[in-house]
DNA sequence: TATGAATGAGTATTCATTCAT
DNA sequence: AATGAATGAATACTCATTCAT
């Protein structure tokens, strides 16, 4: 019986496997130790590799971090509702979108945290962070302009308000997944988190 | 005969002067270089002191950072509207409060940034950060409970929504003062920033 | 029946071709980057080969460098005037010899520079370097002994003076080809370089 | 009895002593291990200091090497005959100068070797090396111009020939002090070395 | 023979902290 | 109280060499 190459695609080159092992390991280490404290050697150890191999695939810690962010970004976008959905079923798409943020921010906790921590210090990372925010911001700004047309939200500047709302969304997703400090460590279930964020957004947009 | 402290306040001890010089210098250096990159030696240089003296007053960088945060915290509270104001003139107090956040976050930019950056990594700093947020959060939660009594905002959990709104407020104050990335470097004047944040809060709280 | 090597020279084995490709590449890389900075990987890249193959032919960088020097040495000797010429046409042979040094030192610049740089540090390379110098030195020493017989150059120790003159010759050939520092980057044409070196040698030997 | 501060000048600051200790140690280590192989840690160990202290005084290995060269350069110039001597007693001054080169090149062997080794690779060091050569070269060039005026050495270009003679002088001083390879390890006494170099220079300049 | 991925020893550099003066 | 010189632990990065394929 021949190898089922159609089903099992040709095995990726060894190099590609190693590269991905390193990215996966980096995600683990960033989540565990935070970007700042993560050492190249730890990432390699987590990947079961010698330190030297790291530099065959990445220039430095920031470089592999960017690769992690790319992965996160693609995953987030793939999971987000399609643009059309925001037209046909606006509130549903916003709720859906909020849900995705909540889930993905938890799933990529270390990456998101690194984006916040490092983006504050490093302009290049800040640019990446902005890219992640940008899609959501555009949707909010578009929605506010629609409301303007309907005579609502006239006091809101579309871009500035969108930035604030996106900030609320992503900051809360980060913050509540990171620590429970704001609620004396009370547990927040997914439903509650999503429902509150959604309601706040709907209220703010007067929808 | 007691020293006439009322008239000629006792000249502060030299030590106290040095301590404050160091704190002031730390604030400058944190603003310029970010907490992470700030070096003890830089703080001392900025204060015009030798490195050795640092350790007479502080244990380490985190220790002097905490002193900066205390200063910020006191200044923020002193400038914020008194609790009573939120009863008698609720919207006015919220607007006033928003203004204060906007101004003080800019004024203490380096400290606030350090609070964000480091609070994400360090639980002790996270606690301080929470303390700064706490006052505002309590006010929002209280307001939401009032709205509940009036049959409004019934979908909002007071504590969770308050956390989200506080996040929006402080994150925006940080973010817009830090970089203009979200708006292609468009300048935001104080009026616009404050007005938009205020409107979003009022809408979200359905006031 | 023997292979007709005279007509169709046996195609060199693949191995030999690879070996020479590597040596040629090494010469290029040594000229470009200097011996110290040349990396095995660079030599292989220049040769269009994988790094692994290097170690099938050479033990290390010094080993391939020695192969380069051998090539240089053979070429230099092949091009130098035959010993007899120094008897029949002494000044002509010295001038000819000077010309050859000048030309070959430029042609094998990277190898010569490596010989200088590394011979100073490494005794084994110093031995090679000496071998390259030796022919020339012997000729000078022989010439001085002849002059002694003619009552000239009595203050010169043949071996020591020969070493000095050989040093002048090779150092100048290296130095003038390497940089123009000594002359504010003035260009030196071949004629001038050779003529001056020749005159200095003739004067020094009182010929 | 008061401290004889007039005789024993005020003790130099501790920092200056440490700096000089490091330079002295570097000279020792460069002589022993060659510039390339010298490690910062070894220099510090030789100076009896911790590694960290190195960077209080120097940026890197090249930086301390430059300090060594400066020391050498000053010492060489201080010991060389004054310019006037070359006018009043030309041959004496040349012999004297040759002697100084011979002595100082031995004394600063590691520095000179580093100048040769590294100057070949590094343009900045090449500049330093040129500075060391420059004085001597100018003297030779001046002398050749004088000879031209007297109808001698007409075949020599002053600058080019001066470069070659300076090369002979310094290269021989280096080479004979470094190894005895050229003479089958025969010992060369100072007299012989100096006499031969002097004679070659005088002959070459037709004096 | 050739490939190129993997290994890991070796070293420069930084900077918080200490301590003699 | 203050100085500033000294300490040394911690870590990123390079590259010769090996080895499975």
Q: Do chains B and A touch (3 or more CB pairs under 8 A)?
A: yes
pLDDT of residue D187: 82
Is 50 exceeded by the pLDDT of residue C71?
A: yes
**Mean pLDDT in residue range A19-43:** 96
- Touching subunits of D (3+ CB pairs, under 8 Å) are C
Q: Which of B46, B22, B26, B23 is nearest to B34 (CA)?
A: B26
Cβ-based contacts of C193 with chain D (< 8 Å)? 160
Cβ(B36)–Cβ(B110) below 8 Å: no
Distance, in Å, from the CA atom of B125 to the CA atom of B91, rounded to the nearest integer, reads 32
Name residues whose C-beta falls within 8 Å of residue C17's C-beta, 6 or more positions apart in sequence: none
CA distance A158 to B186: 13
Q: What is the pTM of this model?
A: 0.89
CB nearest to B199's CB, from A156, A168, A176: A156
The CA distance from A188 to A198, in Å, is 15
Query: What is the pLDDT tens value at each position of chain D, 207 positions in all?
Result: 333 333 444 446 888 999 999 999 999 999 999 999 999 999 999 999 999 999 999 999 999 999 999 999 999 999 999 999 999 999 999 999 999 999 999 999 999 999 998 998 898 999 999 999 999 999 999 999 999 999 999 999 999 999 999 999 999 999 998 866 677 778 889 999 999 999 999 999 999
Please compute Rg for chain B using Cα positions.
20
B-C interface (Cβ pairs under 8 Å ≥ 3): no
Nucleotide closest in space to A59 (CA vs C1'): F13
Indicate whether C138 pLDDT > 90. yes
Mean pLDDT in residue range A113-137 = 91
On chain D, the residues whose CB falls within 8 A of the CB of C165 are: 168, 200
Residue closest to A146 by CA, chosen among A98, A205, A198, A91: A205
Provide the mean pLDDT of chain C: 91
Q: How far apart are CA D114 and CA C120, in angstroms?
A: 9
Q: What is the pLDDT of residues A158-207, one digit of tens each?
A: 999 999 999 999 999 999 988 666 777 788 899 999 999 999 999 999 99
- Report the distance separating Cα B91 and Cα B198, nearest Å: 9
Cα–Cα distance between C168 and D175 in angstroms, integer? 12
Task: Tell me how close the Cα of B9 comes to any Cα of chain A, in angstroms.
Answer: 42
> What is the predicted pLDDT for the residue at B187?
82
Average the pLDDT over C22-38 and give the result: 96
Write down the architecture of domain D60-204 according to CATH: Orthogonal Bundle (1.10)
What single string gives the DSSP state of each residue in B131-166?
Answer: HHHHHHHHHHHHHHHHHHHTT--TT--HHHHHHHHH
Tell if the CB–CB gap between C168 and D165 is shorter than 8 Å.
yes
Helices (H), B80-122: 83-88, 90-107, 109-119
Tell whether the model's pLDDT for residue A10 goes beyond 70.
no
Which tokens in the block code for residue C121? 């540090």
Q: CATH number of the domain at C12-58, please? A: 1.10.10.60
DSSP structure string for C155-192: T--HHHHHHHHHHHHHHHHHHHHH--GGGTT----HHH
Tell how many helices (H) and how many strands (E) occur in chain A.
10, 0
Q: Please compute the mean of the pLDDT values over residues A49-65 and round it to a whole number.
A: 97
Protein-proximal positions, strand E, CB < 7 A: 1-20
Kindly report the backbone phi and psi dihedral angles of residue B10, in degrees, each rounded to the nearest multiple of 5, phi listed first: -50, 130
Q: Rounded CA gap, B204 and D136, in Å?
A: 85
Q: Which of D33, D185, D24, D193 is nearest to D100 (CA)?
A: D193
CB C109 within 8 A of CB C179: no
Task: Return the domain boundaries, chain D.
Answer: 12-58, 60-204
Radius of gyration of chain D measured on its C-alpha atoms: 20
Q: Is the CB of D13 under 7 A from strand F?
A: yes
Tell me the fold of C61-204: Tetracycline Repressor; domain 2 (1.10.357)
* B47, B40 contact by CB (below 8 A): no
Identical fold between C12-58 and C61-204: no
What separation in angstroms does the CA of D173 have from each of B23, B128, C168, D109, D196? 60, 70, 12, 10, 12
D58 to chain C, closest Cα gap in Å: 23
Quote the pLDDT of residue D1.
35
Query: What's the start-to-end Cα distance of chain B, in Å?
Result: 60
Give residue C14's pLDDT.
81
Are the C-beta atoms of residues D154 and D206 closer than 8 Å to each other? Answer: no
**Residues of B in Cβ contact (< 8 Å) with A165:** 168, 200
What topology does CATH give the domain B1-58?
Arc Repressor Mutant, subunit A (1.10.10)
Q: Give CA–CA dist C99/C173, Å, rounded.
A: 10
Mutate which of D175, D192, D194 to disrupt the C interface (most C C-beta within 10 Å)? D175
CA-to-C1' span, C201 to F15 (A): 45
Instruction: Scan residues 55-74 of chain B and list those with Cβ within 7 Å of strand F.
Output: 56
Q: Token pair for residue B45?
A: 């240089």
Q: pLDDT tens across B44-63, in order?
A: 999 999 999 999 999 999 99
Residues D100, D169: contact at Cβ < 8 Å? no
Q: Give the pLDDT confidence of A13-22 residue by residue, as tens digits.
A: 888 999 999 9
Q: Which residues from the 112-171 window of protein chain B have CB within 7 angstroms of nucleic acid chain F?
A: none
User: What is residue D5's predicted lDDT score, i.e. its pLDDT?
Assistant: 34
- Architecture per CATH, B65-204: Orthogonal Bundle (1.10)
Q: Cβ of residue B10 near strand F, that is under 7 Å?
A: no
Check whether A63 has a pLDDT greater than 50. yes
DSSP-derived letter for residue D161 is H
* Whole-number average pLDDT of chain A: 91
Protein CA D134 to sugar C1' E21 (Å): 46
Average pLDDT in the C188-202 region? 96
Collect the ranges in chain B with pLDDT lower than 70: 1-12, 179-181
């Amino acid at each position: 019986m021949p190898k089922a190459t159609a089903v099992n695609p040709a095995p990726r080159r060894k190099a590609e496997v190693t590269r991905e092992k390193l990215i996966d390991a980096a995600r683990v280490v960033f989540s565990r130790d935070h970007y700042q404290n993560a050492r190249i050697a730890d990432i390699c150890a987590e990947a079961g590799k010698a330190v030297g191999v790291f530099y065959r695939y990445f220039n430095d810690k920031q470089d592999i971090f960017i690769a992690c962010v790319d992965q996160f970004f693609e995953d987030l976008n793939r999971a987000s509702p399609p643009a059309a959905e925001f037209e046909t079923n606006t509130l549903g798409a916003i709720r859906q979108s909020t849900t995705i943020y909540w889930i993905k921010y938890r799933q990529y906790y270390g990456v998101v945290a690194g984006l916040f921590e490092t983006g504050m210090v490093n302009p290049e990372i800040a640019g990446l962070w902005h890219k992640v925010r940008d899609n959501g911001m555009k949707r909010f700004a578009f929605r506010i302009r629609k409301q303007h047309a309907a005579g609502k939200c006239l006091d809101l500047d579309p871009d500035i308000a969108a930035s604030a709302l996106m900030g609320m969304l992503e900051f809360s997703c980060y913050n509540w997944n990171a620590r429970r400090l704001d609620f004396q460590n009370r547990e927040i279930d997914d439903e509650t988190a999503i429902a509150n964020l959604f309601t706040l957004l709907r209220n703010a947009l007067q929808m």
